[in-house]
Amino acid sequence: MSQAPTSVSIALDADQAERGLSGLEGAKPQAGAQKGTLRRMALRHQSIAAIAASLPGACDVLLRHKIDFCSKGEATLALAAEARRLNLAELQAELSATARQAEPYPTEPAALIAHIIERYHKVHRLEFPGLIDTARRVEATHKDRCDCPRGLHDLLSRMFEDLEDHQHKEEAILFPIMLNGGEPSLHQPIARMLQDHVELIDALDLMADLTGDFAPPADACGSWRALYVGCRKLDSDLRVHVHLENNLLFPRFS
Cβ count within 10 A of residue 82: 12
- Domain end position, chosen among 99, 115, 135: 99
Do 55 and 123 belong together in one domain?
Answer: no
Q: How confident is the model at residue 21 (pLDDT cuts 50, 70, 90)?
A: low
Do 142 and 118 belong together in one domain?
Answer: yes
C-alpha to C-alpha distance for 42 and 39, rounded to whole angstroms: 8
Q: What is the average pLDDT across 98-117?
A: 88
Q: What is the pLDDT of residue 195?
A: 96
pLDDT digits (tens, 9 = 90+) for 235-253: 999 999 999 999 999 999 9
Do 60 and 163 belong together in one domain?
Answer: no
The answer to which of 49-58, 75-84, 121-130 has the lowest mean pLDDT is 49-58
In a domain, 5, yes or no: no
What domain range includes position 159?
A: 14-26+107-252
- Domain end position, chosen among 75, 99, 123: 99
Cβ count within 10 A of residue 100: 8
CA torsion 184-107-169-136 (nearest 10°) is -160
Name the average pLDDT for the chain.
85
In a domain, 32, yes or no: no
Kindly report the pTM of this predicted structure: 0.78
C-alpha to C-alpha distance for 41 and 178, rounded to whole angstroms: 32
Do 136 and 174 belong together in one domain?
Answer: yes
Q: Which of 101-110, 155-164, 245-254: highest mean pLDDT?
A: 155-164
Q: What is the pLDDT of residue 198?
A: 95
pLDDT at 107 over 90: no
C-alpha to C-alpha distance for 79 and 97, rounded to whole angstroms: 21
Q: How many CA atoms lie within 13 A of 65 on its CB side?
A: 22
In a domain, 3, yes or no: no
Do 235 and 135 belong together in one domain?
Answer: yes
C-alpha to C-alpha distance for 129 and 236, rounded to whole angstroms: 17
Do 85 and 174 belong together in one domain?
Answer: no
Do 88 and 130 belong together in one domain?
Answer: no
Q: How many domains does the chain have?
A: 2
pLDDT digits (tens, 9 = 90+) for 92-101: 889 888 877 7
In a domain, 212, yes or no: yes
What 8-state DSSP symbol labels residue 38? G
